[in-house]
Amino acid sequence: MMKNSGNTILVTGGGSGIGREYAQRWHDAGNIVIVAGRTVSDLEETAKGRENIHVRQLDVSDAGQVASFAAKLIEDFPALNVLMNNAGIMPYEDITQARDLSDAKKVISINLMGPICLTDALIDHLRHADDAVLINVSSGLAFVPMPKAATYSATKAAIHSYTVSLRKLLEGQVEVIELAPPGVQTELTPGQSHREGYMPLGDFISESMAQFAQDPTPEEVLVDNVKPLRHAEKDGSFDEKLDMIASR
């Protein structure tokens, strides 16, 4: 199981939304937390008034930067034992006609290659750390896609699959957990933090953190709101859920 306190935790995408809330809750529970992201001022806002939250700038889409970041991080925080791959972007797109693919490439670079590169850069350290945990943040959209965010949904499906492989291969060495949020009221997309039908951020954090505290910690942390998507294929409601998401 994941320890409640006494960890040294790296959270990417720690300057807002889910990453910020997790970082602050984990800090307040007695953990050392490093928040990483592209915008230092946002990270500093996360760390404000919390002496054991440390700020590090990182663009996970820059593979060279990830490697040097990881080396320095291990040097500065040799007790690092938890990695939360949370950084992600979700632009809407029209995939029904020829277009500029730079947005799609950026989504793949940040949402998929970012976690793969950072995990690769830290895996040798984590395999030898006590109570090591790797948390990958996917999405309910990994299981039923949102057509207007097709590349985002595809990267999250890939993260789910990659996490399953990591869990199998790291069995007995690193605990591998997938956190699959539903639609949560954050600014992942413009206006989403006030969008009706999305889960309030505080409720999501409280419900999901209660699962992290379970013994054993679930392999997939799933709040009740996301279970209809996670299990849509198994329970025969996939087409219905897809139509519902496509109409949003």
The alpha helices in the chain, defined as continuous H runs, are 17-28, 40-47, 63-76, 102-107, 114-127, 150-169, 201-212, 227-230, 232-235, 238-246
Which is the catalytic residue, given 22, 152, 162, 198? 152
Task: Say which residue the tokens 């972007």 belong to.
Answer: 89
Element (H, E) at 85: strand 82-85
CA 54 to the chain's CA centroid: 18
Give 3-state DSSP helix, strand, coil % of the chain, rounded to 5.
Answer: 50, 15, 40
**Whether residue 22 lies in the annotated active site:** no
- Tokens representing residue 36 in the block: 């990483």
Non-local CB neighbours of 176 within 8 Å, separated by 6+ positions: 133, 134, 136, 163, 166, 167, 170, 219
Cα 14 from chain centroid (whole Å): 10
**Residues with catalytic function:** 152
